[in-house]
Copies of this chain bind each other. A is one copy, B any other.
């Protein structure tokens, strides 16, 4: 028994941002723009969005306070401003952080109290303000799903709000907006997208739909991420990485992440590290931990990159090799030590992983114990 529900209208393609006005006007004439402090401003994107909105006679208020790991408290402030300003819809512009902050704000305009209660499942939410998203990274897949990852500054818990009301009405995936990203971002976002596809593909809650879409995404990342890292102006390759990212977002919405994400959230929650870099540091040990249980799936991945004469063992082997070589080529062959994790953090990280990410740990084909998790963290130092 399963449910299939992918309600986001995703508009994909170079130049597609031009359609923002005609889509947005269907949700009202005052936008609450949620974005980060700098990048969308520096690239001129915010100015361009303003012009597009004005052409459709849409007013706007700009809330540019989304942090790189957005805080629950920021979302609560945002919702207050949204209501004071009497906006009609939320428009999130940026990477996963800005989009997740936007989704959380939209949720809080319709649900009273502390958002952490909804995140931890203590309270059940209702509706949200309409959400439109413009993604400027090929990373989180947030434009395609009902997840918003937030960090509670009181206890560093980093956890997703998952609620059907926070699907975007319309999302814009325009690779032209991504070519100015620093290459370090391209690498970490692209690897995040890869892990979404990979984790959803092997997940216990994997479905035929999520697996099929995730495998497409894996192939697109294999074929294009290294190209894009070396030449971000290669718009055709970037379009594929962006596409894979969306597929990963859909796939985790259906089937969830598992061990790699489960162990990463505590790291970036505690140390404000880059999520994609944390995933890279943790990937190989979590992969090795799980690999014997998902041999059939690794064979399927291996079929994408081996010729027809390859044996099953060779297919599995080439999957491992391919992922390692991608990490090498995009300069993400890093350790948790590089991100500031020390041995003294491991107990907290382990406890926090089970507290905030238990659903992800139990979604892994091999379910790790506390001892296993500590062992994996140690290997990643």
- Which A residues contact B (CB, under 8 angstroms)? 1-16, 144, 208-209, 211-213, 215-216, 220, 243, 246-247, 250, 308
Contacts and interface: CB of A to CB of B under 8 A. Distances in A.
A99 B263 CA distance: 46
Total copies of the chain = 2
Contact of A7 (B6, B212, B243): B6
Given A212-B213, A212-B215, A10 B16 contact: no
18 contacts: A1-B13, A1-B14, A1-B16, A3-B9, A3-B11, A4-B8, A4-B12, A4-B250, A6-B7, A7-B7, A208-B220, A208-B247, A209-B213, A209-B216, A212-B212, A212-B215, A213-B213, A308-B308
A9 B6 CA distance: 8
A201 to B, nearest CB: 12
Contacts of A10: 3-5
Contacts of A308: 308
Considering the complex of A and B, which 4 residue pairs feature the smallest CB-CB distances, nearest first? A1-B13, A212-B212, A7-B7, A4-B10
Contacts of A14: 1
B209 A247 contact: yes
Contacts of A211: 216
A301 to B, nearest CB: 14
A308 B212 CA distance: 20
Nearest to A11: B3
A354 B367 CA distance: 57
Nearest to A219: B208
Contacts of A209: 213, 216, 247
A7 B308 CA distance: 38
Nearest to A311: B308
Given A1-B14, A5-B9, A209-B216, 14 more contacts: A1-B16, A2-B12, A2-B13, A3-B10, A3-B12, A4-B144, A5-B7, A5-B10, A208-B243, A208-B247, A211-B216, A212-B213, A212-B215, A212-B216
A141 to B, nearest CB: 12
A6 B144 CA distance: 11
A212 B201 CA distance: 13
A206 to B, nearest CB: 12
A381 B212 CA distance: 38
A112 to B, nearest CB: 21
Nearest to A173: B4
A3 B10 CA distance: 5
Contacts of A212: 212-213, 215-216
